Amino acid sequence: MAYYFTSESVSEGHPDKIADQISDALIDNFMAFDPDSKVACETLVTTGQVVLAGEVNSKTYLDVQQITRNVIKKIGYTKSEYMFDANSCGILSAIHEQSQDINQGVDKSNKEEQGAGDQGIMFGYATSETDDFMPLALDLSHKLLQELAEIRRENSEITYLRPDAKSQVTLEYGDDNKPKRVVTIVLSTQHDDFIRPENSTVEEKKRVEKLMQNKIKEDIKVILIPRLLEKYPQYKQYFEQPITYHINPTGVFIIGGPHGDTGLTGRKIIVDTYGGKGAHGGGAFSGKDPSKVDRSAAYATRHIAKNIVAAGIAEEVLVQVSYAIGIAEPMGVYVNTYGTAKVNFSDAEIAEKIQKLFDLRPYFIEENLKLRQPIYTETAAYGHMGRKNEIVKKTFVSPSGEVKEVEVELFTWEKLDKVALLKEAFN
């Protein structure tokens, strides 16, 4: 039976994503100068104010205020009329030392026996719907906003855009469980007050608001969508039938960002993962060093799931792992191929083999995926999964002026480096 499925995304200028990016920028700076740092930091942003809180065990000291301002500036909050400005916002730090009660369960004399930083369940998911093995609705939602952010920075084709934005894509699926077409696109973007009323009457204000809304809707359809499809021609087939657009459906969207809504680290966990497909264990990623299995094990299970689908073992798969705080060995591994397995093994047998092929102890996850590098700022907007694995150079500056230039590998959990191993194991 045919059905609809919807996923959403939010831009780098969304309040919750600002918070995620600040938290992960702190993680990266700690990692750059002390890779053994243990960090759990949360960020709150609101009108003209940033609050940093959390627990840290590290040998390095950071200028957290300057790091925070750099993130906000890079996102694009650089004007006083936004009521949240990189140069003038207040920043309060309440970061303190990590609890020894927690730390004693993680740090062990034998590093290989490093315990999980917390109890919990983590999920990884992959599907053959897209080239990056991600659900199509989420993939499109992310890419719409990434392209919109590029247009905003260019400031040529569309000149009124502000940093805050949200997208949502609804797909129609056929009886074969394959996506058929895009049904609806919802997109809300913050914007300047770019048409001014001629007088102060309510009628004139409504007329101007309607003009701005119509202009934004036209630009999204005539500029953004064609640019998206030109860059990703593989998606054109889903846009061939009429699509319903809801662009800034409430009208004007001038007040946005932290002035319009408070932002907190870890409030966009479905946007960060699979857009509602598969499952989620409930733990956020941003602001946590890799000893926290909420983050590292979610990356590890995505790595497993993606390689399973790429190896042709199944068209869709969900992988779950669970931990007890302070214990290295996972409590168990679960696999669900949703009836799409192409091998002569049950899901339970697949799970049993996965446990033998992949070492899911926290230390080995960190080592195999190179997670003690400063690689996290890039994950904090537009999703942690389905991203491009690449090597980049990054520069960090300490409060004392020490400059650290490092070459790091981003999104290691997206590598298809276990396909041959899996093919051999499953014949």
Backbone φ and ψ of 353, nearest 5°: -70, -40
| Annotated binding residue 96 | no
Residues pairing with 331 in the sheet: none
3-state secondary structure of 355: helix
| Annotated binding residue 42 | yes
| Annotated binding residue 288 | yes
| Annotated binding residue 55 | yes
Contact predicate 348/336, CB 8 Å: no
What stretches of 34-135 show up as alpha helix (H) in DSSP?
64-75, 100-106
Angle between helices 64-75 and 15-33 (to 10 degrees): 130
C-alpha–C-alpha distance, residues 124 and 294, integer Å: 11
3-state secondary structure of 396: strand
| Annotated binding residue 284 | yes
| Annotated binding residue 162 | no
E strand spans, 138-243: 161-173, 179-191
Strands 179-191 and 244-247, by their bridges, are parallel
| Annotated binding residue 359 | no
N-term to C-term CA, the chain:
33
| Annotated binding residue 113 | no
| Annotated binding residue 101 | no
**Eight-class DSSP state of 224:** I
3-state secondary structure of 175: coil
Strands 179-191 and 161-173, by their bridges, are antiparallel
| Annotated binding residue 32 | no
| Annotated binding residue 74 | no
Nearest to 348 by CA among 360, 359, 336: 336
| Annotated binding residue 166 | yes
| Annotated binding residue 272 | no
Alpha-carbon distances, residue 420 vs 58, 99, 311, 424, 427 (angstroms): 39, 43, 7, 6, 10
| Annotated binding residue 268 | yes
DSSP H/E element including 348: helix 347-357
**Eight-class DSSP state of 220:** I
What stretches of 113-201 show up as alpha helix (H) in DSSP?
136-154
**Residues in the annotated binding site for ATP:** 14, 164-166, 261, 267-268, 284, 288
**Residues in the annotated binding site for K(+):** 42
**Residues in the annotated binding site for L-methionine:** 55, 98, 261, 292
**Residues in the annotated binding site:** 14, 16, 42, 55, 98, 164-166, 261, 267-268, 284, 288, 292
**Residues in the annotated binding site for Mg(2+):** 16
